Amino acid sequence: MHPLAAQHKAGLKDLRRWLDNSHLGELLSLYESFAEEERDCALRRDLPFLPEPLASITRLFVLGEEINGHVPETVRETLCGLGLDFARHRLLRHFDLWIFCERLTPSVDLYHGDDSLGLSRLMLPGRGRCLDLCAGVGTQGLLLAQTADSLVAVETQEKAQLFFWMNALVNGLEDRVELRQGDFTAAVEGEHFDHIVCNPPLLPVPREVAYPLAGHGGPDGLDFPRRLLAALPDLLNPGGRCHIIGTMLGGPLGPDLTEWQEVAQSSGMDLLAILPFRSSVSSGAAPMFQSLVSSAVLHAELQGEDPAAARAHTEAAYRRQFSETGATHLYSFFLCANRAAPGSEGQFRFTRHFMDTRRMWTR
């Protein structure tokens, strides 16, 4: 059951009607091909070209700038009653869904990023009984729920519940979804699904480095995908499929995919790994190395730690990890899995799009 009071439910439905009539969705569709930061820069640049009230609505909901007027008092009351503050939160157009989430910061928990968009493009449409793991604010699950027979979403963070149900209600999908809190192994034990999607914490982070939950994928970035792959044979119905997004470490010619090949053969799963991107982490000056370190340092600083000490600790931890594992590059991946034909051995295949790297999640 969703934790929203009756007045909030009614207010969110009114908000959906107002948003649909504001033409903000049509405006944002022009920027769908942009990465998140590029989109915000482009929108801010294009504000002088927009008529009112569309310009002011964009400034508030998307760019987080306070405005006077142009938003009905009933809408402001709904937003205030839900605790939404657009200096910290934002409203996105995700395909034809409205999604409330947090702004991207080093400590973000209620997350939406370019990987969210990449996975959504890959997984559509939803069919049969669907499962969304690491559901967060509902980005993937609500998209599947539009066409699926049913959708079960599982999320460990209690604070995500409010945003999940806000997004379900503002999109009119509250009766088509079920949200469960906890670890997926207990939350869906003994159940079976036709389609599973997962956007887990996906960055490689040394165990001794503190990192926001939304990004901490363990030392090789694969903590959650590894657990899910082990459970897939029991979770998927015959003919079922699964889509997982993530990152992994490897050498200059690619990551070591032996583990996935062995999983395919032992579990009767057909696996396709799409590897669109690689970036060097072989030097402390490499942009990806610095990006990983800087995110951890900013998170540590928000926790009250000395940034200089945090940077020294984090850089040393990453250098040690990459040296011990022989990792020189970070790779992004989409992992597509489905049950192999009865009696046949699972097959593993992969692409080498990273040989012509363009963007992390798209071509």
Amino acid letter for position 28 = L
Number of structural domains found in the chain: 1
Residues making up the chain, counted from first to last: 363
Residue 93 within a domain: yes
CATH code assigned at 352: 3.40.50.150
Domain of residue 115, residue span: 87-356
Residue 225 within a domain: yes
How far apart CA 59 and CA 80 sit, in angstroms, is: 17
For residue 329, what pLDDT is reported? 98
For residue 3, what pLDDT is reported? 67
Residue 252: CB atoms within 10 Å: 9
How far apart CA 184 and CA 154 sit, in angstroms, is: 6
DSSP 283-349: STTSHHHHHHHHHHHHHHHHTT--HHHHHHHHHHHHHHHHHHHT--EEEEEEEEEEEPPTTS---EE
Residue 337 within a domain: yes
For residue 320, what pLDDT is reported? 96
How far apart CA 222 and CA 243 sit, in angstroms, is: 14
For residue 6, what pLDDT is reported? 73
Residue 6 within a domain: no
For residue 343, what pLDDT is reported? 78
pLDDT along the chain (363 residues), means of 10: 74 93 95 86 96 94 88 91 93 95 87 92 93 97 97 95 95 96 95 97 95 91 97 95 98 97 94 97 96 94 94 97 96 95 88 91 84
Residues 192-231: b if buried by 16+ CB within 10 A, e if exposed: ebbbbbbbbbbbbbbeebebbebbbbbbbbbbbbeebbeb
**pTM, two decimal places:** 0.94
Edge-to-edge strand ranges of the sheet holding 177-181: 177-181, 150-155, 129-133, 193-198, 236-250, 329-339, 269-280, 348-350
For residue 1, what pLDDT is reported? 54
Q: Are 119 and 200 in contact (CB under 8 A)?
A: no
How far apart CA 172 and CA 12 sit, in angstroms, is: 9
Residue 286 within a domain: yes
Give the residue among 224, 169, 147, 218 at the shortest CA–CA distance from 13.
169
Helix axis angle, 287-302 to 307-325, nearest 10°: 140
Helix axis angle, 6-22 to 73-81, nearest 10°: 130
For residue 340, what pLDDT is reported? 81
Residue 314 within a domain: yes
For residue 2, what pLDDT is reported? 64
Residue 362 within a domain: no
Residue 167 within a domain: yes
